[in-house]
């Protein structure tokens, strides 16, 4: 079942790179008592993701924080090493938390996995953005295949009160 507005975010664990190396963050730690914008892209270093999607959230991070967002996070079905390298390449610094969904388990738990096998990418996460308030999805923007419209930083920012 696909996540929808009003649903509690599923429990899970995502990979993060720490000062000590690869680590993990639970969704409880990520979402509990916080307002979070969770963005998902089909893959790090892919064209639309690198040219438009992630850069918009980096550029507007301060605008999100000014509207009460505690964390802006970007998730992809990639490993923590790739997510760290992509974050460095994109200059995310402390603005966006880079999350690895290495096996696509969290994308699957959200009902938002996609089969990119036709493009040599295997199972991936769909392009989406979810505003989460204390563990509950309050806005869900899922892109149709090949599109980049409803999950842009500007569109998500406009949904914040």
Ordered by start, the domain boundaries in the chain are 13-159
Q: What is the pLDDT of residue 46?
A: 82
Tens digits of residue pLDDT in 8-54: 999 999 999 999 999 999 999 999 999 999 999 998 888 888 888 99
From 14, 16, 30, 49, active-site residue = 49
Minimal CA–CA distance to 76: which of 14, 18, 125? 125
The total number of residues written for the chain in this structure? 161
Full-model pTM:
0.94
Q: Are the CB atoms for 74 and 54 separated by under 8 Å?
A: yes
Q: Are the CB atoms for 67 and 153 separated by under 8 Å?
A: no
For this structure, is 74 an active site residue?
no
CA distance 55 to 53: 6
Architecture of domain 13-159: 3-Layer(aba) Sandwich (3.40)
Tens digits of residue pLDDT in 83-99: 999 999 999 999 999 99
> ∠ at Cα 109 (108, 114), nearest 5°?
20
Long-range contacts of 111-116 (CB under 8 A, 24+ apart): 111/1, 111/2, 111/3, 112/2, 112/3, 112/40, 112/142, 113/77, 114/42, 114/145, 116/42, 116/43
- Interstrand relation of 113-115 and 128-133 (parallel, antiparallel or unpaired): unpaired
């Amino acid at each position: 079942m696909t996540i929808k507005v009003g649903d509690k975010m599923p429990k899970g664990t995502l990979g993060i790179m720490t000062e000590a190396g690869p680590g993990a963050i639970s969704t409880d730690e990520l979402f509990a008592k916080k307002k979070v914008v969770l963005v998902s892209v089909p893959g790090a270093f892919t064209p639309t993701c690198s040219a438009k999607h992630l850069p918009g959230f980096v550029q507007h991070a301060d605008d999100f924080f000014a509207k009460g967002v505690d964390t802006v996070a970007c998730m992809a079905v990639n490993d923590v090493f790739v997510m760290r390298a992509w974050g460095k390449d994109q200059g995310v610094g402390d603005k966006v938390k880079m999350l690895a969904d290495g096996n696509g388990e969290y994308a699957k738990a959200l009902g938002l996995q996609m089969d990119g096998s036709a493009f040599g990418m295997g199972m991936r996460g769909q392009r989406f953005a979810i505003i989460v308030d204390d563990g509950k999805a309050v806005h869900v923007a899922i892109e149709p295949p090949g599109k980049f419209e409803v999950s842009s930083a500007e569109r998500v920012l406009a949904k914040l009160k």
